Amino acid sequence: MKLYIIRHGETSWNKEKKLQGQRDIMLNENGLRLAELTGEGMKNIEFDLVISSPLIRAKQTAELVMAGRQLPMITDKRIIEMSFGKWEGECVNNSEILPSDYKDKFYNDPLHCPKAPGGESFQDVLKRTADFYQSLVHNKAYENAAILISTHGAASRCLLANFYEDKEDIWRGGVPKNCSVCIVDVKDGVGTVLEKDKVYYPKEA
């Protein structure tokens, strides 16, 4: 099984550095363009299936990357973005609501980051993305499949934790770029990261 884990294209809230979480924000013009260019860059990869977060920005990305292909796409709530509860819509750079150390904890010590009221912790997202991954591993129909997984920044990094011994380094170099792809080869239930944050669109895009 080979997994292509893509972060969705850009949204207006990405540009404004807002906590998007599970708010259903559409791709902006640049996000649509990046997804289209990524699809062009991945056109020679033969996929068998697409699994997307149920949020529209992830589904739009998957649809644009897979444009022209007649492939099944299913959605799975386990790869939806981390919920920021009542803090969704807050800007991490100038919020009067977020704890003063929130930004630092979020990026540098995520496992001890304050949990938003009504939201999730990184541990919560690690648990559900691990459950998602195990469901793929134990599905014999996917054993030799190439699967595009369209998800989000924090959710994709938590999913990636399944392939590293060190589970505490969540970000592994930072938040992935919009439409960047992590490629994972899975054999006998063991996943190996072949490429991290590969960009299929031109660097100047």
Q: Which positions are annotated as active-site residues?
A: 8, 81
CA pair distance 145, 39, nearest whole angstrom: 19
Torsion of CA 26, 28, 31, 36, to 10 degrees: 90
| Largest separation between any pair of C-alpha atoms in the chain | 50
Residue 146 neighbours by CB under 8 Å, 6+ apart = 1, 2, 4, 45, 46, 47, 48, 49
Alpha helix segments (H runs only) across 20-121? 29-41, 56-65, 102-108
Element (H, E) at 139: none
Count CA within 13 A, CB hemisphere, residue 1: 23
